[in-house]
Amino acid sequence: MPNFLYKIETAMINSKNTLPLAIAQIEKAHDTIRPMVHRTPILTSNSLDQISGARLFFKCENFQKIGAFKIRGAVNALSNLSEEEKQRGVATHSSGNHAQAIASTAQSLGMQAWIVMPDTSPKIKKIAVEGYGAEIIESKANIESRETKLNEVVQKTGATFIHPFDNYDVIAGQATCAKELIEDTDDLDIIMAPVGGGGLLSGTALSTYYFSPNTRVIGAEPKEVDDAFRSMQLGVIQKNSSLNTIADGLKTNLGEKTFPIIKSLVEEIITVSEEEIINAMRLIWERMKIIIEPSCAVPFAAVLQQPEKFKDKKVGIILTGGNVDVEKLPF
């Protein structure tokens, strides 16, 4: 059975005969965000092609506004709010790129934003968020405290909570990244993205399904936080017991909205060791001369781990962001 048919069938079975986002919603998301985000370049590297044996096409979201793909989902989600919701503002919890994405987008759209951040967040991240005019609410560094603080601010202000990934407008926004990768390349065999909460990977899978149905989608995650790998094996969402990875964007568990899409449309999740991540990150830094976050290196690490799988294949890899603390490098 051709791969395409298999995918349709699986998708039908797993999502009550319909996927939660239609092709038109992703196309609309792209139209919505286009004026506010960069169409990032796709880079190739002869050197990394030689090392890997594959033909690699890197979609460089490290060059995106705020330095990460998260701006796509934030712009789409905030743009889709009603006028009344926009008046009341938005809230979220994040210590990373989603915080900056929401704060920056809210500022651009003239909205108030409240960001719950753990009191352990680096000062530089707080300054960046405040620089966009958002208000920071400190929580303890645990889920209960974070959710309590978030509920408090939502109750008090009437702000709309924008989940970092388990939100269809966010997923549709992240989907535009693979859509551009597909539009700007020809006949990719495989598209790869890292998986944390699954916002990017589910969006990637949807865009690939709609815009390049013969292309396979493979996710990659650190062995240390292999919740997505285990969730796929067992068919229900698994949680991470430890968070001991350098890929700090990938510590989150899958969500109720992202997992069914991933289960339907993603062929496989490959897990890689911390050493493999650091090695892959260093190769990209040294050979491509671009700065990427550790999370971005995870799919390339998977390619290096399984050369026979990717040999001579045209592989699109989403480099998710470039926000690293240059004073704390793993080299």
Tell me: does residue 331 bind its own copies (CB under 8 A). yes
The CB-of-285 to its own copies minimum distance in angstroms stands at 6
Q: What is the DSSP string of 88-157?
A: H-EEEE-SSHHHHHHHHHHHHTT--EEEEEETTS-HHHHHHHHHTTPEEEEE-SSHHHHHHHHHHHHHHH
Contacts of 278 (CB under 8 A, 6+ apart): 246, 294, 297, 330, 331
Return the sign of the alpha-carbon dihedral for residues 290, 247, 71, 61.
positive
* Alpha-carbon gap, residue 215 to 205, rounded angstroms: 10
The closest of 57, 55, 52 to 304, measured between CA atoms, is: 52
Contacts of 81 (CB under 8 A, 6+ apart): 90, 160
Tell me: does residue 67 bind its own copies (CB under 8 A). yes
Tell me: does residue 322 bind its own copies (CB under 8 A). yes
* Number of C-beta neighbours around residue 162 at 10 A: 24
Tell me: does residue 63 bind its own copies (CB under 8 A). yes
Q: Which of 29, 292, 298, 303 binds its own copies (CB under 8 A)?
A: 292
Type of residue at 197: G
The CB-of-35 to its own copies minimum distance in angstroms stands at 15
In the DSSP assignment, the letter for residue 326 is T
Q: Which of 26, 291, 303, 317 binds its own copies (CB under 8 A)?
A: 291
Tell me: does residue 290 bind its own copies (CB under 8 A). yes
Question: How many residues belong to the site for its own copies (CB under 8 A)?
Answer: 17
Whether the CB-CB separation of 170 and 164 falls below 8 Å is answered with yes
Contacts of 228 (CB under 8 A, 6+ apart): 195, 198, 201, 219, 221, 254, 262, 269
Q: Which is nearer to its own copies, 116 or 284 (CB)?
A: 284
Q: Pick out residues in 25-54 that bind its own copies (CB under 8 A).
A: 41
Tell me: does residue 329 bind its own copies (CB under 8 A). yes
Tell me: does residue 286 bind its own copies (CB under 8 A). yes
Tokens of 8: 């349709």
* Alpha-carbon gap, residue 205 to 186, rounded angstroms: 17
The CB-of-5 to its own copies minimum distance in angstroms stands at 40
The CB-of-300 to its own copies minimum distance in angstroms stands at 16
Tell me: does residue 282 bind its own copies (CB under 8 A). yes
Q: Which of 49, 80, 268, 285 binds its own copies (CB under 8 A)?
A: 285
The CB-of-71 to its own copies minimum distance in angstroms stands at 14
Tell me: does residue 289 bind its own copies (CB under 8 A). yes
Rg (CA), the chain: 19
Q: Which is nearer to its own copies, 21 or 60 (CB)?
A: 60
Q: Which is nearer to its own copies, 8 or 43 (CB)?
A: 43
Q: Which is nearer to its own copies, 282 or 309 (CB)?
A: 282
Give CA torsion, residues 120, 254, 191, 78, to 10 deg.
-70
Tell me: does residue 326 bind its own copies (CB under 8 A). yes
The CB-of-270 to its own copies minimum distance in angstroms stands at 25
Q: By CB under 8 A, which span of 130-138, 152-160, 261-269, 279-287 interacts with its own copies? A: 279-287
Question: Which residues contact its own copies (rule: CB under 8 A)?
Answer: 41, 62-63, 67, 282, 285-286, 288-292, 322, 326-327, 329, 331
